[in-house]
Amino acid sequence: MLQHCLSREQISRFLETEIAGGVFYEDEVELRNLLDLWRTWDAELICLTSLLSISLERQQKNLVDVHNMLLKFYALRDVEGMNLTIDELDESFVKYMLSFPRSNDFSLEEELIEIRLRLSEYEFPR
């Protein structure tokens, strides 16, 4: 199964299309295909709460009811067929993150997404 950690922009568009009933832009083929895979259980979407909060803050500035949007977003985890993981940056994530030197070639957002994907592949010592 494909695992994909959503970026801030992808989270914003996900909220707009899946929660608020918006439509995709013509050039959003990759995101549309990813969501099609997600709807058919062929992909797991991972959302970091830190990036979600940034996206919701942007929505709130546009006078969107973010409380209702957040409730609907969390409810998607319980819908059959919707493989959505909502990850907090907890202690284990931070410890894992600090075990790697920070790269100046990536933005903090890109680095967090990369670390989350590496963490899902990490085999903990027995």
Q: What does the pLDDT look like over 20-64, one tens digit per residue? A: 888 888 899 999 999 888 888 888 888 888 888 888 888 888 888
Inside any domain, residue 99: no
CA angle 53, 55, 60 (to 5 degrees): 90
CB-CB contact of 51 with 109 (8 Å) = yes
The rounded distance, in Å, linking the Cα atoms of 58 and 63 is 9
126 found inside a domain: no
Instruction: Name the more confident of 111 and 97.
Output: 111
For residue 7, is it within any domain? Answer: yes
**Is residue 38 included in any domain, yes or no?**
yes
Q: Which domain holds residue 52?
A: 2-88
